[in-house]
Amino acid sequence: MAKTEVILIQNIVGLGGESDLVKVAAGYARNYLFPQGLAVPVSASNKRRLDALKKRRGEREAHEFNTMTELSKSISKLLAVLQVKTGDDGKMFGSVTSGMIADQLKTQFDIVLDKRKIHLEHPIKTLGEHDIELRLHPEVLATLKLRVESSTPLPAPVEARTRPEARDGAARTESRGHKRADRVREEKQTGETGEKPPRPERKPRVEKAEKPAKTEKAEKTA
């Protein structure tokens, strides 16, 4: 396949940056790069444009570097909160993706970031806080703190679900139970009629008659 050398006018992913001299297929240059204004053929007149292209590229890259450096400082102070659906056991459905994080940055902080700059070492499948690496620039990295929360309400405790009137009714029932137990104990003590049994009458004390004194005769006989 025939090759031709071209000067790139704009950055092309996988091919090169602005002002780069690259070799591409002649058909690719003729049918795509040249018509789209992405490159120009190498010629004496176009080579004179290289200095201007390199200067423009240098200014653009310096601006991108400064912008990404400032963005990195700002992002390091942020806490992104992303809500996901979970089951009753608290486990997530699926995982958090770089696209979801990019959308959350746009929604929460109005930061537009290409999801390809969000680097996930492994899929996020658990709730809690995670440190996310952002590759903002070839020379600028940032760390975003991300907290993943459940958007599914957790089931309320049984005690919390009890209505106030139910608790009051239970209290009244318990009070009646105590009163009933006290009444049963009282009935056992006082008898089924509810009256205290009469005390048995005390018999009158019978005094013993005094023995008659011995007569003188009896004394003499003795």
pLDDT in tens, the chain (222 residues): 688 999 898 888 888 888 888 999 999 999 999 999 899 898 888 888 888 888 888 898 899 999 999 999 999 999 999 999 888 887 888 899 999 999 999 999 999 999 999 999 888 999 999 999 999 998 999 999 999 999 876 665 555 455 555 556 555 656 665 666 666 566 656 554 445 555 556 655 555 555 555 554 444 444
Number of other residues whose CB lies within 10 A of the CB of residue 71: 17
Task: Choose among 130, 155, 151: nearest CA to 83.
Answer: 151
What's residue 133's pLDDT? 96
Euclidean distance between CA atoms 132 and 99, whole angstroms: 13
**Rounded to 5, what percent of the chain is helix, strand, coil?**
40, 20, 35
Asked whether the beta carbons of 109 and 152 are under 8 A apart, the reply is no
Euclidean distance between CA atoms 162 and 93, whole angstroms: 31
What's residue 63's pLDDT? 93
What's residue 61's pLDDT? 87
Number of other residues whose CB lies within 10 A of the CB of residue 79: 10
For the chain, list the domains and their CATH numbers: 3-72 (3.40.5.10), 77-150 (3.10.430.100)
pTM above 0.75, yes or no: no
Task: Choose among 19, 18, 13, 42: nearest CA to 29.
Answer: 42
